[in-house]
Amino acid sequence: MKIDKLTKEVLSQIMSLHEMDEGAVSLRKNGKSEIMKSSDNIEISPKEDLSGINVYVRSSCKGEVCHIPVVITENDYVDLVYNDFYIEDGAEVTIVAGCGLHSSEDSSHDGVHTIYVGKNAKLTYVENHIALGKGKNKNLSPVTVLKLDKNSNVIMKTTQIGGVDYSNRITKAKLAENATLDITEKIMTDKFNVAKTNFKVELIGENSVCNISSRSVARGESEQKFDSVVLGKNKCFAHVSCDAILLDNAKVVSIPKIDARNNQAEINHEAVVGKIAGEQIEKLMTLGLTKKQAEEKIIEGFLK
């Protein structure tokens, strides 16, 4: 797979280059398709009416990985894609998405991903975002829409590694009977970064389950806002947790909302915002670490 040096540098921050050599791949760079490759069980094709791709995962797919990275290296560039994923009944697949920006300023990528998960299907969806290089106004605002059929299972892992000046991540999901959705997000902001996450999950089917876990670190003058709404329309279970470490002059706002419309809906939430405990830093400093090194180790463990 031929990829130029700068693109490799960006991709290495958001996914495994070794794994990209195998299976289905769609690499988009500066608004154009660089690589598009299907496999026996995963078909990738360009959209005819919009910018983006269609991904079809067949029932015969058992444990394959599909990579769909985006790289932006041009300045003053705005990218918008619409990607649709169709996971057939019984399929088992991992989709690794993500975007890396490496430009001087004023570049952005917005992606609208609509994912249809069939009956008894299992999906692991990984999305990593990072911005590299000097300059300002690097923006990433993905939208993910999930539709889970009966007995399906989705694990969603999102990470905003750093350098993104503004992000507004929106996730919407509807769960049918016995469907399960586990979402884990990790965010780090610094300087004047602004990061917003919005979740809206509707537990429609009986015995549907949702767990949302957010861990974040806010530094400098950055701002973070966590906003979640979990709607229980049937006998269901949901747990939402938001943990944040606040440093310097940063700001964190957490707004978890519960909307229960069935007397057998069990939904709970927790939100914790705090600083690094002084005794943790002192303990690590006794092992020979500087205060800054101790702080970094604690943050690394917190976001692991």
Residue 17 pLDDT greater than 70, yes or no: no
Cβ proximity of 250 and 220 under 8 Å: yes
Q: Burial letters for 225-260: b for 16+ Cβ neighbours within 10 Å, e otherwise? A: ebbbbbbbbbbbbbbbbbbbbbeeebebebebeeeb
Could you tell me the pLDDT band of residue 7, with boundaries at 50, 70 and 90? confident
Q: Report, as an integer, the average pLDDT of 29-48.
A: 94
Shortest CA distance to 195 belongs to which of 215, 220, 170, 167? 167
User: What residue type is assigned to position 285 of the chain?
Assistant: M
Per-residue pLDDT at 104? 66
pLDDT of residue 75: 84
Confidence of residue 198 (pLDDT cuts 50, 70, 90): very high
DSSP 79: E
Per-residue pLDDT, 280: 76
Q: pLDDT tens-digit profile of 209-219? A: 999 999 999 99
pLDDT at 1 over 70: no
pLDDT at 146: 98
Whole-number pLDDT of residue 18: 64
- Render pLDDT for 267-296 as a digit per residue (tens, 0 to 9): 999 888 887 777 777 777 777 888 888 878
Whether residue 100 is predicted with pLDDT greater than 70 in this model: the reply is yes
So what's the pLDDT on residue 296?
81
User: What pLDDT is recorded for position 275?
Assistant: 79
Share of the chain above pLDDT 90, in %: 66
Q: 203 pLDDT band (50/70/90 cuts)? A: very high
User: In this predicted model, what pLDDT tens digit does every residue of 104-125 receive, in sequence order?
Assistant: 677 888 889 999 999 999 999 9
